[in-house]
Amino acid sequence: MKLDIGTYYFYDIYVIMAKDTAKKPNNAKEYSAESINVLEGLEAVRKRPGMYIGSTGTTGLHHMIWEIVDNAFDEAMAGHCTDIVIKLLPDHWVSVTDNGRGIPVDIHPKLKISALEIVMTKLHAGGKFGGENSGYKVSGGLHGVGASVVNALSTHVKAEVHRDGQVFVQEYKKGVPQGKVKAVGKAKDRGTTIAFRADDTIFETVDFSWKYIVDHLRQQAYLTKGVHLRIIDERPEEERVKDASALKLPKNQYEFYFEGGIGSYVKHINKNKEPKHDTVFYVEKQVEHVLVEIALQYTDDFSESLYAFANNITNPDGGMHVAGFRAALTRTINTYARNKNILKEKDANLSGEDVREGLTAVISVKIPEPQFEGQTKAKLGNPEVKPAVEGVFGDALMIFLEEHPSEAEAIIGKCLLAARARNAAKLARDTVLRKSALEGFTLPGKLADCSSRDATRSELYIVEGDSAGGSAKQGRDRNFQAILPLRGKVLNVERARLDKILTNNELKSLIIALGTNIGEMFDISKLRYHRIIIMTDADVDGAHIRTLLLTLFFRYFPDLISNGHIYVAQPPLFSIKKGKEITWLFNEESLSEYKQKFGIKEEDIQVHEEGDGSFDTEPREEEKPKKGKEKDKTPKLNIQRYKGLGEMNPEQLWETTMNPENRLMKQVTIEDAEKASEIFDILMGSEVAPRKKFIQTHAKSVKNLDI
């Protein structure tokens, strides 16, 4: 799903429908040896798919493609593959073809079966474990579960290998081979094609997102320069129409080829930003077994955009390569500034935070045996990578600054400005948050706090306006629900530094209420509420406020989003009363379905807005039949349309939006930080042209626009 923000959509902030449920007691049987189950082969993968691909939602579904594509890129990084083709096929099939060496098909000396069958059916089997004797010097997959996991979680898989002048084929159902590997013809080329259909009994959906796939694979093409990547959508029209993202990328074929590698990637990331210098810094160098590739450019932004990769695998939690990069960046810029007498003897050194403001950087390392944390590979742990990156980057950056004095001047100027702003922000923060303010000593007066001090149970509703805040305060459960009303539209933090944020009364109240502090002093362990719920009106102004708050959380509290603490309330848009029964509808689509279900015609409906009219289904006085005329047998159906939370009385607000037994909420998560950052920059940044283009491009997809 996508989070509807007013008249726009944040495509890369995905939301999950969440409903509170009570846990029931588990009446377990006697625990004995019979209780111990042994899962063999791929059975374990089908039993616990989340352990291998992260989830069974859209993220896990697309991870199936990445696992197979990563194998093709491993061939490319080994120097054996130049072309990769990904196809979305009818009936939810996907195929990945590369012109690499082809998976070996000869008989394994120990297991006595084809190597292809081993790769496709055995966990922790592959050509990436043998060190110097392995088939790969550099590889993204080190657990050897990629192809076999895809096989286990698919209803059907077909592997076709072109190798040694022949075509070899083997098919599988739910991971089980449907016969031995067979030679079915002659081949003039070489390579591997894996086609699979995800199992719809395991995944929540088997509908792939065209835009998500294109965006991810474009990134991979940047990371492996010189590889020709083609993505083709061959799904029938009815399947493409179901995929909303296909409408936003109307072309059904894309080709990517980047000679500039991650240098081109940095330019792509900064296309909607104002760069501080034209020349993009780029270095590529091998130190022993570690290949280091880094590109960077400073912009007039206030936040850092850093993307780290190891063997083409994204590492959102960083690791040793990021640690080495940051240490070298801070040291080199300070050394250069002092050598040029820009920083005087009495001046303090620039901090890491100062030198990273406005920085866009891509770090890519390729190593023989990467050590990742878990199958999702979020963090790189190889200790030898840190000194390699630090040495290569530090030396190259110093040479760059010496050879490009105008770029160096712009970079140092940006860092000095950030340092002055940081000092001002520190003074403001000390003034606002001193004397244990975050521990409840000076909680904002407008906050109606809950009585519970258990953060895991507590909820904070951020409510638009005093009117809605009043209803929410009266309707809430005081034991665990706190209410913080905000007046008007809060500051757009996309174009504001921390010192300005801390002088804004509404944001200051919110920061104190959260308890985590902000910036370099942020501490998620002090979060006072584990559910932070944005509850705004269902109109354009409410959507704008929601967007502003999401911008704040995304830029300054990203850990709250990544840890699943941010929610968006879903108040109803309509209510229909029949006798004593009230039906609540949450959007226009629900109303259309309701009318269709009960055969209600437009002429039989009266819609009242903003408190106008009653809930009665009896006809109004002017609609009653005159004397001598037959009474109309079909009374008008009165529908109440709510444009503001303040129109609901406390009981209605509790029943529809705040009661854990009934409410619907959307949990905000970030699937693609780069794209999410780009969308925030377009919609909330200072550049008008990208925002205008975005509106023009997506105007036709807007529904229910209030003017």
CA nearest neighbour of 244 among 205, 210, 206: 210
Query: Between the CA of residue 166 and those of 114, 163, 192, 371, what are the distances in Å?
Result: 15, 6, 12, 37
Of 407, 429, 451, which residue constitutes the final position of a domain? 429
Would you say residue 45 lies in a domain?
no
**Residue 30 identity:** E
At residue 360, what are phi and psi to the nearest 5 degrees?
-115, 120
464 is catalytic: yes
Catalytic residue among 300, 317, 477, 541: 541
Over residues 329-335, the mean pLDDT reads: 97
Of 413, 429, 445, which residue constitutes the final position of a domain? 429
Q: 440 pLDDT exceeds 60?
A: no
Q: Are residues 439 and 292 in the same domain?
A: no
Measured distance CA(459)–CA(18) in Å, rounded: 15
Least trusted range by pLDDT, from 60-64, 252-256, 631-635: 631-635
Over residues 403-407, the mean pLDDT reads: 95
Strand ranges in 370-480 using DSSP code E only, listed in sequence order: 459-464
Q: What band does 423 get if pLDDT is binned at 50, 70 and 90?
A: confident
Q: Which two tokens stand for residue 603?
A: 């002429």
Catalytic residue among 464, 506, 672, 674: 464
Q: What is the pTM of this model?
A: 0.64
Q: What is the reported pLDDT for 595?
A: 80
pLDDT above 70 covers what percent of the chain? 79
Catalytic residue among 83, 234, 409, 539: 539
Measured distance CA(302)–CA(281) in Å, rounded: 19
The residue with greater pLDDT, 333 or 215, is 333
CA nearest neighbour of 160 among 43, 31, 284, 68: 68
Identify the residue whose tokens are 């054996």.
Answer: 80
Measured distance CA(620)–CA(618) in Å, rounded: 7
Find all residues with CB under 8 Å of 547, minimum gap 6, and list them.
5, 6, 683, 684
Would you say residue 11 lies in a domain?
no
Query: Between the CA of residue 660 and those of 22, 467, 617, 664, what are the distances in Å?
Result: 10, 22, 30, 8
Over residues 306-328, the mean pLDDT reads: 92
Dmax of the chain from CA atoms?
Answer: 102
Quote the mean pLDDT of the chain. 81
Would you say residue 18 lies in a domain?
no
Q: What is the reported pLDDT for 662?
A: 85
CATH number at residue 505: 3.40.50.670
Write a three-state SS string for 522-543.
Answer: CCHHHCCCCEEEEECCCCHHHH
CA nearest neighbour of 212 among 79, 58, 435, 100: 58
**Could you tell me whether strands 313-314 and 305-310 are parallel, antiparallel, or unpaired per DSSP bridges?**
antiparallel
Would you say residue 20 lies in a domain?
no
CATH number at residue 87: 3.30.565.10
Q: 260 pLDDT exceeds 60?
A: yes
Q: What band does 19 get if pLDDT is binned at 50, 70 and 90?
A: very low
Q: What is the reported pLDDT for 626?
A: 52
Count CB neighbours of 58 within 10 A. 20
Find all residues with CB under 8 Å of 309, minimum gap 6, and list them.
223, 315, 362, 363, 364, 365
Q: Are residues 444 and 400 in the same domain?
A: no
Least trusted range by pLDDT, from 119-123, 168-172, 233-237: 119-123
Q: What is the reported pLDDT for 442?
A: 63
pLDDT tens-digit series, residues 467-512: 788 889 999 999 999 999 998 788 888 878 787 888 888 998 899 8
Q: What is the reported pLDDT for 154?
A: 95
Strand ranges in 237-289 using DSSP code E only, listed in sequence order: 253-256, 281-287
Q: Are residues 162 and 91 in the same domain?
A: yes
Q: What band does 637 get if pLDDT is binned at 50, 70 and 90?
A: low
Q: Are residues 465 and 536 in the same domain?
A: yes
200 is catalytic: no
At residue 387, what are phi and psi to the nearest 5 degrees?
-65, -30
Query: From the centroid of its chain, how far is CA 642?
Result: 31
124 touches 52 (CB < 8 A): no
Count CB neighbours of 246 within 10 A. 22
What's the structural domain count of the chain?
4
Would you say residue 425 lies in a domain?
yes
Count CB neighbours of 198 within 10 A. 25
Q: Which two tokens stand for residue 414?
A: 């940006």
Q: What is the reported pLDDT for 407?
A: 95
The residue with greater pLDDT, 165 or 50, is 165
Q: 613 pLDDT exceeds 50?
A: no
Q: Are residues 553 and 611 in the same domain?
A: no
Least trusted range by pLDDT, from 121-135, 327-341, 615-629: 615-629
Q: Are residues 101 and 166 in the same domain?
A: yes
Q: Are residues 137 and 181 in the same domain?
A: yes
Q: What band does 360 get if pLDDT is binned at 50, 70 and 90?
A: very high
Q: 39 pLDDT exceeds 60?
A: no
Find all residues with CB under 8 Å of 577, minimum gap 6, and list them.
583, 615, 616, 617, 638, 640
pLDDT above 90 covers what percent of the chain? 43
Quick one: which H or E segment has residue 592? helix 588-598
Provide the CB-side half-sphere exposure for 95 (13 A, CA).
Answer: 18
Q: What is the reported pLDDT for 297?
A: 97
CATH number at residue 402: 3.30.230.10
Q: What band does 693 get if pLDDT is binned at 50, 70 and 90?
A: low
pLDDT tens-digit series, residues 657-678: 999 988 888 898 876 666 667 7
Q: What is the reported pLDDT for 658?
A: 93
Q: What is the reported pLDDT for 391?
A: 96
Find all residues with CB under 8 Å of 40, minimum gap 6, and list them.
none
Q: What is the reported pLDDT for 461?
A: 95
Q: What band does 1 get if pLDDT is binned at 50, 70 and 90?
A: very low
Q: 591 pLDDT exceeds 90?
A: no
Q: What band does 145 get if pLDDT is binned at 50, 70 and 90?
A: low
Of 394, 429, 464, which residue constitutes the final position of a domain? 429
Would you say residue 47 lies in a domain?
no
End-to-end CA distance of the chain: 25
Q: 181 pLDDT exceeds 60?
A: yes
Would you say residue 15 lies in a domain?
no
CA nearest neighbour of 579 among 604, 614, 616, 620: 616
Q: What band does 132 get if pLDDT is binned at 50, 70 and 90?
A: very low
Q: 271 pLDDT exceeds 80?
A: yes
Q: Are residues 316 and 453 in the same domain?
A: no
Measured distance CA(334)–CA(340) in Å, rounded: 10
Q: What is the reported pLDDT for 437?
A: 40
CA nearest neighbour of 647 among 571, 698, 595: 571
Catalytic residue among 537, 647, 655, 681: 537
Q: What band does 40 get if pLDDT is binned at 50, 70 and 90?
A: low
Over residues 41-51, the mean pLDDT reads: 80
* Domain hosting residue 328, numbered range: 263-429
541 is catalytic: yes
DSSP letters for 661-676: TT--EEEEEES-HHHH
36 SS3 class: coil
Q: 141 pLDDT exceeds 90?
A: no
The residue with greater pLDDT, 615 or 125, is 125
Q: What band does 10 get if pLDDT is binned at 50, 70 and 90?
A: very low
Q: Are residues 389 and 268 in the same domain?
A: yes
Query: Between the CA of residue 671 and those of 44, 317, 668, 688, what are the distances in Å?
Result: 26, 14, 10, 26
pLDDT tens-digit series, residues 273-297: 899 999 999 999 999 889 999 999 9
Q: Are residues 242 and 172 in the same domain?
A: yes
Over residues 170-186, the mean pLDDT reads: 94
> Which residues are bridge partners to 275 per DSSP?
299
Q: Are residues 233 and 323 in the same domain?
A: no
Would you say residue 381 lies in a domain?
yes
Q: What is the reported pLDDT for 183?
A: 94
Q: Are residues 349 and 491 in the same domain?
A: no
